[in-house]
Amino acid sequence: MRLLSLDTSTPRGSVALLEGRELVAELRLLSLETHSARLLASIEFLLKNAGWNLGNLGLIVAGIGPGSFTGIRIGVATAIGLAQTLSIPFAGVSGLDALARQLPIIDGRIGVVMDAQRGQVYYAEYRCSRGKVAKVGKPALLNPLDLSRRLRRSHICVLGDGALRYAKELEIPRAGWPRLADVDLFLAAPLGRLAMERKQFWRHGQFIAAEPLYIRPPDAQKRKVKPR
């Protein structure tokens, strides 16, 4: 199957074309500006240079977060619009899940730490047993110092842009535990590969929808005033 996968939830925006699990073409951009102005042009550029067209696609994948509210909405809306227009399935995948499955370990604990800006991080923990990765509990929004207390002296591999940015606050030693792992932080291709493993979560039909993984409530929601 040929699929288009895109992620605009973080400053590391990416678009990828895959044939099964094989990466055919990819565009990456690290930018603090919104990816909306470049997204459709990037998709068109990749398809043209891969010798594909929209009719060749059998699945559209998008990152559902966590990350920028605007970025998540742009990516998901674009992906759902394409899937509906082409009458093909859509799959929304968490960036936390995609990052956790990039670490090639057979057994052990994995802590994914994504930069949430504003001095905070998104954190999700996973357990890997015999090569199978399962989430432990719900993702959380934490301060790095609070997370450091949870991780202290734990036999766990931590990864993600939040782990890199706050390595000092998280008290990650040069040797010992917790251990900092180096993985690819551009997620379009990993999202696509994970979606291929989760066919039971594909969405079809005219009214495709996705539940974004915001974790932090949107500012507009927090500003709502309750009626007296």
What single-letter DSSP state applies at residue 175? S
Residue 144 and residue 203 in one domain: no
Say yes or no: 82 and 120 in one domain.
no
Element (H, E) at 72: helix 69-86
- Answer yes or no: is 214 within a domain: yes
The amino acid present at 111, given as its one-letter code, is G
Same domain as 78, residue 19: yes
**Do 140 and 192 sit in the same domain of this protein?**
no
pTM of the model: 0.92
Among positive and negative, which fits the CA dihedral 101, 102, 108, 109?
Answer: negative
Do 171 and 116 belong together in one domain?
yes
**What is the model's pLDDT at position 65?**
97
CA-based nearest residue to 8, from 37, 43, 35, 47 = 35
What is the predicted pLDDT for the residue at 219?
60
Per-residue confidence at 23, pLDDT binned at 50, 70, 90?
Answer: very high
210 and 109 fall within a common domain? no
Query: What is the mean pLDDT of the segment spanning 97-103?
Result: 95
- Tell me the CA distances in angstroms from 87 to 34, 58, 113, 199, 206, one per residue in order: 28, 9, 36, 16, 8
Residues 6 or more apart whose CB falls under 8 angstroms from that of 95 comprise: 7, 9, 10, 63, 64, 65, 66, 67, 114, 187, 191, 213
Same domain, 7 and 87: yes
Are the CB atoms for 61 and 191 separated by under 8 Å? yes
Could you tell me the residue range of the domain that residue 143 belongs to?
A: 103-180
> For residue 106, what pLDDT is reported?
80
Q: Which two tokens stand for residue 70?
A: 């605007």
Q: 158-212 pLDDT, tens per residue?
A: 999 999 999 999 999 988 899 999 999 999 999 999 999 999 999 998 889 899 9
State whether 31 and 143 are in the same domain.
no
Listed range (4-18, 31-45, 116-130) with the worst mean pLDDT: 31-45
Q: Are residues 16 and 65 in the same domain?
A: yes
| Angular region, 10: left φ>0, alpha ψ -120 to 50, beta rest | beta
| Whether residue 23 is found in the same domain as residue 86 | yes
Q: Rounded distance, CA 55 to CA 2, Å?
A: 10
Residue type (1 letter), 17: L
- Would you say residue 86 has pLDDT above 70? yes
pLDDT above 70 (res 223): no
Strand segments (E) across 57-182: 59-63, 90-93, 108-115, 121-129, 132-142, 156-159, 179-180
The Cα–Cα gap between 29 and 187 comes to 11
